[in-house]
Amino acid sequence: MGLPEINDSNFKTETDNGLVLIDFWAEWCGPCRMVGPVLEELSKEYTGKVSIKKLNVDDNQQTAQALGIQSIPTLLLYKNGQIVDKAIGALPKSQLKNFIDRHI
């Protein structure tokens, strides 16, 4: 199935409402491919609580540069359009759950 992909043109509207976790990733990134399936699982577990989406940094460099994304995977957690938390690297599921739970 996969997570919904967002891009430079819809980034602002996609992060404006509620709790939204954005996974900044790239096709060639090994750790990104490791964290992807975990985020898909969490997306199902947190249905109605947090929306989890992906942004490919190679295809959407404008947003990645504007946010200063230098390492991937980078996870940014938005609450009503504002960044409330950030995590870098392929974290295990338990740490990702704690990362989200702090803001629910």
Catalytic residue among 3, 6, 22, 32: 32
Q: What is the pLDDT of residue 85?
A: 97
**Known catalytic membership, residue 29:** yes
**Known catalytic membership, residue 100:** no
Does the domain made of 5-101 have the CATH classification 3.40.30.10?
Answer: yes
DSSP E strand stretches across the chain: 5-6, 19-25, 51-56, 74-79, 82-88
Catalytic residue among 20, 21, 22, 29: 29
pTM score above 0.85: yes
Q: In this model, does residue 1 exceed pLDDT 70?
A: no
Q: In this model, does residue 26 exceed pLDDT 80?
A: yes
Q: What is the pLDDT of residue 16?
A: 96
Residue in 25, 9, 19 with CA at minimum distance from that of residue 52 = 19
- All structural domains of the chain with their residue ranges: 5-101
- pLDDT, tens digit, for every residue of 34-52? 999 999 999 999 999 999 9
- pLDDT, tens digit, for every residue of 68-94? 999 999 999 999 999 999 999 999 999
Question: Which SS3 state, helix, strand or coil, does residue 82 take?
Answer: strand
Length of the chain: 104
